[in-house]
Amino acid sequence: MKQLSGLDAAFLYLETPEMPMHVGALHVFELPAGYKGRFVRDLRAHMAKRLPIVPALRRKVWWMPLNLAAPAWVDAEPDLSQHVVEIRLPKAARIGDGLRELEAQVAALHPVLLDRKRPLWKFHVFEGLAPSSHGHKRVAMYSQLHHAAVDGQAAVALANAILDVTPEPRAIEVKPSTRAKKFQMSMGESLRGAMAHQITQVTQIVKDLPGTVGTLGGAARDALQGGLLNSVLFGGKGGSGNLALAPKTAFNASVTDARAFAAVSLPLAELKGIGKAHQATINDMVMMVVSTALRRHLGKHRTLPKKSLIAAVPISLRAAGDTTSDNQASLSLISLGTHIADPMKRLEHIKQASAAMKSTLGSVKSVLPTDFPSLGLPWLMEAATSLYGKAKVADRIPQVANVVISNVPGPPMPLYLAGARMLTNYPTSIVVHGMALNITVQSYNGALDFGLMADAKAMPDVKAFAQAIEIAFDDLRALPLPHELQAEAQAPAELVGRALRSVRGAVEEAVGNTVKGAMTRAVDSVVRGAVQAAVSTARRATASRSAAPKKRATPAKRAAPAKRVAPAKQATVTRRAAAAKPRTRRA
């Protein structure tokens, strides 16, 4: 018996019909030339040979009495006729690549919960695709693995055990196991195992407590001394805003029991080359592509928030070389810079946000727990999950993130399953209440395969979003490279300098020959202008004086008005005056 860790068991407690907790992938295979058999039969025979080296596929969940603590894994013999099944695609799948029909099948199958009475995995083989460009038969497969059994890195390790690097399957040397198989447990054995596990966990916590406190204290001290809380984490001036509350979008709602799925591939080498030119990692470039696609998609619907969208990004806590089938991961938050229209500035924002996340979690990564005491936890988590979904709490409260983005490195070479060459590897993952869009990316054989899983009600047009990702990659291709930006910045200054030198030379040459004439013409022009201005001023002054009314002179003493005399009397007076004048004596 092996009891599930607290983190592994949490995926069982959180599972509801609206939130299936299995992951997987959609694969397309090309069969060898001249293949005439049924692939589902060959795959069952292949899996029968590989099961001895894949213990995660040979165990099932055993629940504790009264569900008091985390369940345990017990041995199981999988019935391959129930775990590897065949599905015929509609006739439309034979037109083109059939991807749209495969996406519809994944969307229909993903909400179906795995049977907990059996090992928690299932492979669906799809028949009815058109032949490849080489004329070879093609088939597809949708794999389902419960997240309680594997995380992203463990799923890759499991795939490496099942797949081969050559068309001819490798021989597997199986050593007989000396361990007695345990298919069930009594109540007493279950309770003893559960209590022993609780004591072990409490002891480990107490043992690690001093180191954990010291690590957390040092991280907090570094954050405060560096002003981290005011800038990098909380979106202060010049910060990334990783810990700011996420703005509301259509896919930040309670999820239903229906799904929409879409897949898209990008060339890995070209994306790496663009990232290298801009001093960005492949994770930075994935975030940039998604950020640009979200801006376009939400902008098309006129629902782009003014604040930046926040991505919840899983980070692996797994040590190098650890391939155990369990969960060793945690979540971090990264601002996507969707509020920034300039693509170059948005890329710099994402690089800064990613660096802030790494610096924040780098010192505390080693103390993040993946296992903890679970006594009574199943009741609490299942009740809280049920209440959270039924009350639609996610529709009422702000979220810490808008979307889940996970980037899992995969094999760089082509792989084969039961002799068939794998062409694509589109991941399928989980959506939860409050985050109805999950974007999982995995590299494979020179390609970056995107699997877009969404709630069908919150984001029914996820296929349009897949097209937005392709357009976003074209936008990245069009970004000017740093040396081009430097050349563009230097070009205006160089042109101005060249023009100044040219003008200076021409002036110096012209001055020697024309300075005298230029000076004469300049003086004549100035004098003529001054004279004309003076004449104009005088004319305006004269015109203003002549137009003004004249003023009458005022005498010192005004004479009395003359008295009017009648004509007859006037004549008499005149004669009298004449008589009174003295006469002149003649000589």
Q: Which residues are catalytic?
A: 147
Q: Do 399 and 246 meet the contact criterion of CB atoms below 8 Å apart?
A: yes
Q: What angle do CA 301, 304, 309 make, to 5 degrees?
A: 135
**Coil, helix or strand at residue 40:** helix
Indicate if the alpha-carbon torsion angle 94, 96, 99, 100 is positive or negative: negative
E-assigned strand segments in 358-495: 403-408, 416-417, 420-428, 437-444, 447-455
Location of structure tokens 């970004």: 479
Residue 541 identity (one-letter amino acid): A
CA 408 to chain centre: 16
Task: Sort strands 84-88 and 121-127 into parallel, antiparallel or unpaired.
Answer: parallel
- Backbone φ/ψ region at 409: left (φ over 0), alpha (ψ -120 to 50), beta: beta
Residue 190 identity (one-letter amino acid): S
Query: What distances in angstroms separate CA 474 from CA 284, 295, 443, 467, 477, one per listed residue?
Result: 16, 14, 19, 11, 5
Show the tokens assigned to 211: 């180191």
Neighbouring CB atoms inside 10 A of 338's CB total 27
Q: What angle do CA 261, 351, 296 make, to 5 degrees?
A: 40
Location of structure tokens 């710099």: 348
Q: Do 112 and 152 meet the contact criterion of CB atoms below 8 Å apart?
A: no
Task: Sort strands 310-316 and 259-267 into parallel, antiparallel or unpaired.
Answer: unpaired
Q: Do 427 and 404 meet the contact criterion of CB atoms below 8 Å apart?
A: no
Q: Do 431 and 21 meet the contact criterion of CB atoms below 8 Å apart?
A: no
3-state helix, strand, coil in the chain (%, to 5): 45, 20, 35
Q: How many CA atoms lie within 13 A of 78 on its CB side?
A: 28
**Which DSSP letter does residue 186 get?**
-
Query: What distances in angstroms separate CA 108 from CA 28, 111, 142, 144, 435, one per listed residue?
Result: 18, 7, 11, 13, 20
**Coil, helix or strand at residue 125:** strand
